[in-house]
Structure 1
């Protein structure tokens, strides 16, 4: 369908005669006849008065016309050329947005899946540490294990002395065993300072077990892997949709 045929069709739908439409547009009937028979191309002003007189928007005028016909025959009309340029700009923006979104989805998917698979952020090896009790300032950090060597001067307590028995009872009374589980490997042992209003006290923690930690599966790592796979699929579908919606010329 041509431009003249489209607007002639609309005139007939409205049951308007050529003279009546020509008068409404402010042009000669003979010129309107040329326009309807595509023997002349209207100026932008005449074209605007033409479709407005027929109560048609610009997009309604062009809807039944082929894209190749519009681009090859009608771009000399300024309103049509502007509309096509705006459509092309919007087309390119939408296409670029879809490509960018799909690319970002895949770009984020790979590190997310890797972090979940390797448990880099949320480790799955859990360590158990045990502490015997409080340690006071100037005492050995291994006082509970090696209290028999804590005699002044570094000598051993005699195992049958009153001093030995008193020290043994003191250590027994001070025992306050505590256990903690952590995903942080703090070494075979470590000492931490505790808050105390009167004086400085410490606790030494010893890693338990001969397997150097046990594996505990954490759901968050599975979620990271699952979300990574979801983003990969989302990105691939985005590129597929871009090819479908915006085929290469």
Structure 2
């Protein structure tokens, strides 16, 4: 980025003009041109327009190569002042958008950190369930646990009415016990969600399975770690953005 004098000299050299030649074209004294190129003087509005015309360059092309200090030095020229005001309005609009993005990044970051730390999305407790086997259609959901109950009731009824023990009933119980042993097919499931002490799921064309809670265990869910890491990165991005904006504002000419 250059000051006005440096930019003027750069354009002159690009056109391969000497100071006397350029001074003649613009209609000024060579000594005055020398002062302009050395930033010891500021051109008038008419002289500035003449310089732009000689080099066939637009106001924006000329000023966009100048440093903020260089532009600020020319603000007494109405065209430069208007350009500077328009540029500042655009920059302020862009700055506002970026500040909004930094704010969103900070909010998202803080939300992710809090969500991860407080297990709002992923539970840090895992639950282990076990199903003893497949329950056939029409059977009690707890057939593997309560199949003996019906025989106990029948035994008590027989003993009350006939006395003694029913051999046939004992045979049926033994047969049922062997059947339940053969049908036993334990299936374990781990869940991040508490589904109650007991829950049942259907199995297509087979029946269903009843799962019983065996216990729970505290873990550190990887999802919570990822949320916290993501939140910290977003917070850092937002804070760094605000800091960069503050630094750039400090460097602006006043």
Give the TM-score category using the shorter length: 0.7 to 0.9
Q: What value does the CA root-mean-square deviation take over the aligned residues?
A: 3.8
- Asked if residue 120 in structure 1 is aligned to residue 117 in structure 2, the reply is no
Aligned with 2:145: secondary structure?
Answer: coil
What's 2:143 paired with? 143
| Contact 2:115–2:227 under 8 Å retained in 1 | yes
| Contact 1:140–1:150 under 8 Å retained in 2 | no
Q: 2:153 aligns with which of 144, 149, 155?
A: 155
Unpaired stretches in structure 1, ≥5 consecutive residues: none
Aligned with 2:185: secondary structure?
Answer: coil
Of 230-239 and 99-108, more deviation after overlay is shown by 230-239
Distance in 2, Cα, partners of 1:138 & 1:148: 17
1:189 to partner: Cα distance? 0.6
Aligned residues: 228
What's 2:184 paired with? 175
What's 2:83 paired with? 83
| Contact 2:112–2:231 under 8 Å retained in 1 | yes
Distance in 1, Cα, partners of 2:189 & 2:9: 87
1:109 to partner: Cα distance? 0.6
| Contact 1:7–1:51 under 8 Å retained in 2 | no
Unpaired stretches in structure 2, ≥5 consecutive residues: 157-164
1:126 to partner: Cα distance? 0.9
Aligned with 1:138: secondary structure?
Answer: coil
For residues 178-210 of structure 1, the C-alpha deviation after alignment (integer angstroms, 9 at most, x for no partner) is 1111112111111111111xxx5111111113x
Normalising to structure 1: TM-score of the pair?
0.73
CA 167–218 in structure 1, closer or farther in 2 if over 3 Å, else same: same
What's 1:49 paired with? 53
| Contact 1:130–1:205 under 8 Å retained in 2 | yes
What's 2:110 paired with? 110
Normalising to structure 2: TM-score of the pair?
0.72
1:5 to partner: Cα distance? 11
What's 1:134 paired with? 134
Aligned with 1:70: secondary structure?
Answer: coil
| Contact 2:126–2:191 under 8 Å retained in 1 | yes
Distance in 2, Cα, partners of 1:246 & 1:50: 35
Aligned with 2:201: secondary structure?
Answer: strand
Distance in 2, Cα, partners of 1:174 & 1:137: 14
More helix, by proportion? 2
Instruction: List aligned pairs for 1:17-96, cutoff 5 A.
Output: 17=20, 20-21=21-22, 24-25=25-26, 41-42=45-46, 45-52=49-56, 58-59=62-63, 66-71=70-75, 73-74=76-77, 76=78, 78=79, 80-96=80-96
